[in-house]
Chains A and B, each alone.
Chain A
Amino acid sequence: MKTISARPSILPLKLNNIEFKADGVRLIKDFTCTFDQGPRSVIIGPNGAGKSLLLRLCHGLIMPSNGQITWAHDPHTKQAMVFQRPVMLRRSVTANIDFALKLNHVARSDRTNIIDDVLSQTGLRRLADKPARVLSFGEQQKLALARAWALKPEVLFLDEPTASLDPSATHSVEQIINAIHAQGTRIIMTTHDLGQAKRLADEVLFIHRGRLLEKSLAKPFFEQPKNDLAEAFVNGDLLWWRLGKDNQGEDSKRRHTR
């Protein structure tokens, strides 16, 4: 597998005062942050915090209601995303990857080698001719990673890629993520599995109710979070907010409880 190199980098990815509204409700609020080359970023936060929405905004699947998302260069074909639930076409494992490569105008002569390569790297070679939808959930998630990896993206967004997997499958997926990262792909992922965040994160972004509350390197974050809600989340406390003022742009009254 070739490493990512010799292409003008699409990074940094800059989010400037991003807001995303649905049905008049602000789901992402005043979100400003920069993703530069290098570390693996893990976005954590409770359910409904806006983690998946944030990845979709960055990936370009949805547009922000306000604010700007900018890349250093055209990110088209240089970024990919793996979703929480793998979605496979009703065709073979090989054909699913081939389809993605064809969409990215990869020459037919190169496709076979790339497919062989990613299937070997992800341990799916023996399943190459199987219909993709008969694979187990874990195997399908590995195939989703293989499909994204085959595109050699500079940035890979992963939306809770192990959310429904058992520990063994989670381990395999994390190994693949590390291998993809080792070959030069910038990983930006979400999870609410704190163990996984500790294993994979170089930097952590803690978001809650659509706001970025803390962004720091993983080690200091897990040792001593600066934000009290982040601290409560890391300590395994339940988080809840009183509804009301927040939709008017003010901070809601924050509470956490054990």
Chain B
Amino acid sequence: MNDFADAFSLAGEMLINLDAGLMEIVSLSLQVSFTAVLLASFIGLPLGAAVALFRFPGRTLIIVVLNALMGLPPVVVGLMVYLVLSRAGPLGVFGLLFTPEAMIIAQILLITPIIAALTRQVVADLWQEFEEQLRSLGAGPLRALPTLLWDGRFSLITVILAGFGRASAEVGAVMIVGGNIDHVTRVMTTSIALEVSKGNLALALALGIVLLTLSTSINGAAFIIGENNKKNHVQ
């Protein structure tokens, strides 16, 4: 129980004092996760919408694969990215292994299927509602794609948050491809894992509390903004 008390006290102290080490880790964590979510959204949102709107051979297989990839094990993704980015790998020449960029790549691979699969469902539901009207106005699936992404923006905020949740909480992949190098690739989750292995549970818990606070604040803010807008537009 002392660990919990110490952890809360330490977390509060670090946050109040804006501890330089903590800020560096938090900053890198947010930078990696936000970049990964942004890039995964650029890929996943149109991909999911396209699968929802277009009919083509193999579509069902793609839907099944996307849904299955939502549960992709992070360590497997980490290992694959490691092999591709390692010196002997096809992209080894770029020297990306053990850099924040490698962590971003791994997180993109992890969360793009989540964003794409959930977007497909949101857009498929909207298409069912709007198809006749949009076709009547002269909009086929291609024109409907940006329209429905915009129309589904309130639901898609939740989809993006799900991706962010996965990215910010992920440890296996970033540990493998980032290496948890101090001042270079150390993020909150890998720091927590390290401190636990060192037996420094109070610091690990304190970092956990910071991570939870940040994650809850970001999700809460996005939820409130989305809900307020949703009310104005009536679902």
Interface residues of A (CB under 8 A from B): 56, 59, 61, 76-77, 80-81, 83, 87, 89-91, 99-100, 103-104, 131, 133-134, 147
Contact = CB atoms under 8 A, between A and B. Distances in A.
10 contacts: A56-B132, A59-B136, A87-B132, A89-B147, A90-B151, A90-B153, A91-B151, A103-B138, A131-B233, A133-B235
B10 to A, nearest CB: 46
A104 B138 contact: yes
Given A56-B132, A133-B233, A134-B234, 4 more contacts: A103-B137, A103-B138, A131-B234, A134-B233
Interface string B82-123: 000000000000000000000000000000000000000000
Given A87-B130, A87-B132, A90-B151, A100 B232 contact: no
B234 A133 contact: yes
A80 B136 contact: yes
B130 A90 contact: no
B143 A90 contact: no
A19 to B, nearest CB: 21
Given A103-B138, A131-B232, A134-B234, A83 B151 contact: no
Contacts of A56: 132
A87 B129 contact: yes
A29 B86 CA distance: 68
A90 B150 CA distance: 8
A81 B136 contact: yes
B59 interface: no
| Chain B: interface size category | 10 to 19
A99 B132 contact: no
A89 B137 CA distance: 12
Interface string B37-81: 000000000000000000000000000000000000000000000
Contact of A61 (B135, B150, B151, B235): B135
B18 interface: no
Interface string B142-155: 01000100110110
Contacts of A103: 137-139, 143
Most chain A CB within 10 A, of B132, B143, B150, is at B132
Nearest to B231: A134
A59 B133 CA distance: 11
A146 to B, nearest CB: 13
B137 A100 contact: yes
A87 to B, nearest CB: 4
Contacts of A81: 136
Contacts of A61: 132, 135-136
Contacts of A80: 136-137
